[in-house]
Amino acid sequence: MIFGIPREIPPFKDTPEYRVGFSPMAAKELILRGAQFYVETKAGEGAGFSDDDYTEAGATIVYTKDEAYRRADVVLKVRRPQQEEYQYMKDGQVIMGFIHMVTARKEFFKIIQEKKLTLFGYEIMQNASGQLPVVIPISEVAGKLSVQIAGRLLESPGGGRGILLGGIAGIPPAEVVILGAGTLGCHAAKAFSQLGANVYLLDIIRDRLDNIVSQSPGSRITTMFSTKHNIEKILKFADVVICAVLEPGRRSPVLITEEMVKSMRRGAVLLDFSIDQGGCSETSKISPSGKFIYTVHGVIHFCMANATTLVARTATHTISSAIYPFLKLITEKGLDVSLKSSIALKNGLYAEQGVIKEEYLP
């Protein structure tokens, strides 16, 4: 099997992308099993992987994006191919990455059909037990990263409330509200709680709330059902709000209205990690320039669809280790056999040979 790793193109001018589709360490393991890799020069530079790292692993460095695509049977991406990459994709090619068809341009659907592409979305890969093998580990990264981001945005120079997340003796800590008790939400809740913040975790599924309570005895995590009444009440005193709501393959539900944002404290911070699927606040958006930090009604918004690029090396290792078992299967058995033997791979199909699954059509 021949894999191509192009250098990622930032989706917007003001939104960087440092991650790369596969690490050299993971590539070496597949090369030992007979795979070939063609890597665009400097593809891994942003994540701290040099061209020499890839060549030492046994990969071949190529000097144009066109060649990274043209030589490959399977192209390993982080993000959905950008408009300028459409010209490089060849007929019948397999593309893998975080595709997020729900926010894709109509032109992309046309390209898939015309070039008879097969598309795997990491965000919809789901095994027999309902777990998301790629989303879960990358969500853990995002959950832990949220503490770093929130702490910096709360600082006075950027217009934040100027408070310390954990407080000190005699000075109360930050009030943190998290919508969604999935992997991202739970890891964020634990991280904020460990710093000493007061955490309120909301979800509509009782089992998720029970799990976090049993896993974190004695913590500063309060669980609540995610109702409109509870959200309205709790946002009024929140210093930090984390949106961590996921419905695989679908647009995120809007849980926070503009009126709720108006009721929040000035200088509070809202981090919408659901923005790659539309966001769960009416005030969440991705501007045409890609500016992902902005203020609405005095509330600082962080809406970066590729937030884990801020810790690109960790994120790349995380993605690589998550998809490695599937690429190993494809390398050893071929794509057709792999699709029959792996439920997660089959569930990850957005399109097969140009035929887009009906539920993902615009």
CA end-to-end span of the chain: 32
pTM for this prediction: 0.93
Torsion of CA 305, 191, 141, 155, to 10 degrees: 40
pLDDT tens-digit series, residues 313-349: 999 999 999 999 999 999 999 999 999 999 999 999 9
Check pLDDT > 90 for residue 216: no
118, β-bridge pairs: 94
Q: What is the mean pLDDT of the chain?
A: 95
Q: Which of 203, 276, 301, 317 is catalytic?
A: 276
Residue 210: which pLDDT band, with cuts at 50, 70 and 90?
very high
Contacts of 122 by beta carbon, 8 Å cutoff, 6+ apart = 96, 97, 98, 99, 134, 135, 138, 319, 322, 323, 348
**Are the CB atoms for 284 and 291 separated by under 8 Å?**
no
Q: Within a 13 Å sphere around the CA of 58, how many CA atoms are in the beta-carbon half?
A: 14
Instruction: Look at residue 290 in the predicted model and tell me its pLDDT.
Output: 74
60, β-bridge pairs: 38
**Are the CB atoms for 283 and 98 separated by under 8 Å?**
no
Q: How far apart are CA 150 and CA 308, in angstroms?
A: 14
- Domains, the chain, with CATH or none: 2-132+311-355 (3.40.50.720), 135-309 (3.40.50.720)
pLDDT tens-digit series, residues 300-320: 999 998 999 999 999 999 999
pLDDT tens-digit series, residues 181-207: 999 999 999 999 999 999 999 999 999
| 3-state secondary structure (DSSP) of residue 101 | helix
Dmax of the chain from CA atoms?
65
Instruction: Look at residue 274 in the predicted model and tell me its pLDDT.
Output: 93
Q: Which of 100, 187, 301, 317 is catalytic?
A: 100
What's the DSSP call for residue 309? G
Instruction: Look at residue 14 in the predicted model and tell me its pLDDT.
Output: 76
pLDDT tens-digit series, residues 265-303: 999 999 999 998 889 999 999 876 778 999 999 999 999
**Active site (annotated) includes residue 276:** yes
**Active site (annotated) includes residue 229:** no
Check pLDDT > 80 for residue 104: yes
231 phi/psi in degrees, rounded to 5: -65, -45
Q: In what order do the strands lie in the sheet with 269-272?
A: 221-225, 198-203, 175-179, 240-243, 269-272, 299-302, 293-296
Amino acid identity, position 55:
T
Check pLDDT > 90 for residue 250: no
Instruction: Look at residue 228 in the predicted model and tell me its pLDDT.
Output: 97
Closest Cα partner for 16 from 326, 304, 282, 226? 304
